[in-house]
């Protein structure tokens, strides 16, 4: 979990390990002493941030070689994605066959592009047209990609603030042209942003491809585990997510993910 996320917080580690907070804290302290990870108290009275180190990546057998860097501009979003990663692992978006974080997707595609831009191996990114610096095609990456046991691919987007209309339209058109994606699941904090996403889906002609989920207040970012635990279980008595499914099923051709 630490290898695949840009940042996690201590309650997420305890939840993932399914052990009391004190036991998890002691484990994290030992791993920090062994230089496997770093604990940083970034915000007063908030859970400490946890990031894996290069030594930790090697010990975990990760294909990633570069430790993640904390970006305070994206901190709330990145912590929220770590909760969603746990939810996806637990089956919120369907029983997972493969679960890939944005960090892993970008690393995978970058390595392929460095080897040969036209190598016929599937990239994770969704093409948005044009060429990026360095000559590789421009691509959009969701926050998570879930390949389910029933053959569906779900792109998960945690949208806490609205992108510009041109950028959002660009992403929607990319999803419209990518037959691998059965559903793009957007999670948003309020009705205004939900309407913005639905309008963009309508303009792209793919309302059946886009689902929008309203988040309950405090139900996603660095909130206490008691608030966010329902994300990781569809059987929670009061889950913080209320899904609004696509209007019609969308079944793309099945493709094998190259890991």
Question: Does residue 84 register a pLDDT over 70?
Answer: yes
Task: Kindly state the average pLDDT of the residues 16-32.
Answer: 94
Confidence of residue 218 (pLDDT cuts 50, 70, 90): low
Q: Does 77 lie in the same domain as 60? A: no
Tell me the CATH number at 2: 1.10.10.10
pLDDT score, position 224: 38
Question: Does residue 123 register a pLDDT over 90?
Answer: no
Bridge partners, 131 (sequence order): 137
Q: Does 106 lie in the same domain as 190? A: yes
Is residue 202 a contact partner of residue 214, using CB atoms and an 8 Å limit? no
pLDDT score, position 220: 64
Tens digits of per-residue pLDDT, 175-193?
999 989 999 999 998 899 9
Q: What percent of the chain has pLDDT over 70?
A: 81
Question: Does residue 47 register a pLDDT over 80?
Answer: yes
Question: Does residue 257 register a pLDDT over 60?
Answer: no
Q: Does 47 lie in the same domain as 36? A: yes
Q: Does 110 lie in the same domain as 28? A: no
Q: Does 58 lie in the same domain as 22? A: yes
Tens digits of per-residue pLDDT, 187-211?
998 899 999 999 999 999 999 999 9
Query: Which 3-state string (H, E, C) describes the chain?
Result: CCCCCCCEEHHHHHHHHCCCHHHHHHHHHHHHHCCCEEEECCCCCCCCEEEECHHHHHHHCCCCCCCCCCCHHHHHHHHHHHHHHHHHHCCCCCCEEEEEEHHHHHHHHHHHHHHCCCCCCCCCCEEEEEECCCCCEEEECCCEEEEECCCCEEEEEECCCCCCHHHHHHHHHHHHHCCCCCEEEEEECCHHHHHHHHHHHHHHCCCCCEEEEEECCCCCCCCCHHHHHHHHCCCCCCCCEEEECCCCCCCCCCCCCCC
* Parallel/antiparallel/unpaired status of strands 183-188 and 126-131: unpaired
Question: Does residue 75 register a pLDDT over 50?
Answer: yes
The structural domain count of the chain equals 2
Confidence of residue 219 (pLDDT cuts 50, 70, 90): low
Q: Does 159 lie in the same domain as 61? A: no
Q: Please give the Cα distance from 202 to 171 (Å, whole number).
A: 13
Domain enclosing residue 26, as ranges: 1-70
Q: Which two tokens stand for residue 205?
A: 């002609």
Q: Does 165 lie in the same domain as 49? A: no
Question: Does residue 255 register a pLDDT over 60?
Answer: no
pLDDT score, position 140: 92
């Amino acid at each position: 979990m630490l290898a695949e996320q840009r940042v996690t917080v201590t309650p997420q580690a305890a939840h993932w390990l399914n052990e009391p907070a004190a036991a998890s804290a002691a484990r994290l302290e030992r791993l920090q002493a062994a230089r496997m990870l770093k604990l940083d108290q970034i915000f007063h009275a908030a859970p400490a941030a946890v990031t894996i180190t290069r030594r930790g990546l090697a010990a975990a057998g990760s294909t990633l070689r570069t430790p993640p860097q904390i970006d305070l501009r994206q901190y709330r979003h990145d912590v929220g994605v770590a909760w969603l990663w746990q939810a996806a692992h637990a089956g919120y978006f369907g029983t997972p066959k493969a679960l890939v974080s944005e960090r892993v997707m970008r690393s995978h595609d970058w390595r392929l592009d460095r080897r040969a831009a036209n190598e016929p191996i599937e990239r994770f990114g969704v093409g948005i047209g044009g060429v990026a610096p360095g000559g590789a095609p421009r691509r959009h990456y969701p926050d998570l990609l879930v390949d389910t046991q029933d053959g569906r691919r779900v792109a998960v987007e945690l949208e806490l603030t609205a992108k510009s209309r041109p950028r959002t339209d660009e992403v929607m058109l990319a999803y419209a042209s990518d037959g691998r994606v059965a559903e793009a699941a957007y999670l948003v904090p309020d009705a205004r942003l939900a309407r913005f996403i639905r309008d963009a889906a309508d303009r792209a002609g793919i309302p059946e491809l886009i689902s929008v989920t309203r988040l309950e207040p405090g139900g996603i970012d660095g909130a206490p585990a008691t608030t966010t635990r329902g994300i990781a279980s569809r059987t929670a008595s009061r889950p913080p997510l209320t899904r609004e499914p696509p209007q019609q099923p969308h079944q793309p051709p099945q493709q094998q993910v190259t890991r």
